[in-house]
Amino acid sequence: MNTQEQARFNMVEQQIRPWQVLDPQVLTVLSNVQRELFVPQAYQAMAYTDTDIPLGHGEAMAPPRVAARLMHDLHLTGTEKVLEIGTGSGYMAALLAGRAQRVVSLEINPELASNARNNLQRAGITNVDVRVADGSTGASGDAPFDAIVLGGSVAEVPQALLQQLAIGGRLLAIVGHDHVMAATLFTRTADAAWDSKALWDHTAPRLQGFAEPTRFKF
């Protein structure tokens, strides 16, 4: 086992499992994807640490345990068409690609999108389509999606994204304000009906392009 393989093993055992990510198929994907390929050169030593990693343009990679828990709670089976909002480094897209048939990933920043494409290519991942787009409106031309995941927080999930779920489809996003946020799972139960459930508390930076509702102060 080389140094990077050992680091991945330690990441899974010391960071991922304690966060109640125990699905063996998810753990296999986390063990196989070379996270260092998605980390900027200046931060290579931090590739497997439990911390945010700057990507430039005010963006950052979330700690591995966050990506792992999102993967776990989406319950992908390998046959899904998935929409990701906020490509960032491409690491989350790489994980999704290991448990989905096809991934469409939207990134509002052209430079980050280009870097992510290069990272995915170096990792040998071919079932991810990275596009430069404002993710708040989704990708209606490719809908419906079996799963949608947001790579940052939002004040509320736009109805346009919920409408792009297939019946039975799941959308996972970190929703809330200030320091009161939670990973929330939305499930489309009928043509005009969705269930939602807060799963775990987590604070994350805002996704660009999403509206902030007016908050009244008295």
List CB contacts of 39: < 8 A, sequence separation 6 or more.
Answer: 46, 47, 53, 61, 89
Mean pLDDT by 10 residues, the chain (218 residues): 90 95 96 97 95 92 96 97 98 98 97 98 98 97 98 95 98 93 98 97 92 66
Residue 60 pLDDT: 93
Please report, for the chain, the start and end positions of each structural domain, with discontinuous segments joined by +.
Answer: 3-201
User: In the chain, at which residue ranges do the beta strands (DSSP E only) sit?
Assistant: 53-56, 59-61, 81-85, 102-107, 128-132, 145-154, 165-177, 180-190, 193-201
Nearest CA-CA partner of 160 in 142, 181, 139, 132: 139
> 113-129, pLDDT tens digit by residue?
999 999 999 999 999 99
Give the tens place of pLDDT for each residue, 145-183.
Answer: 999 999 999 999 999 999 999 999 999 999 999 889 999
Class for the domain spanning 3-201:
alpha beta
Strand order in the sheet with 165-177: 128-132, 102-107, 81-85, 145-154, 165-177, 180-190, 193-201
Q: What pLDDT score was predicted for residue 30?
A: 96
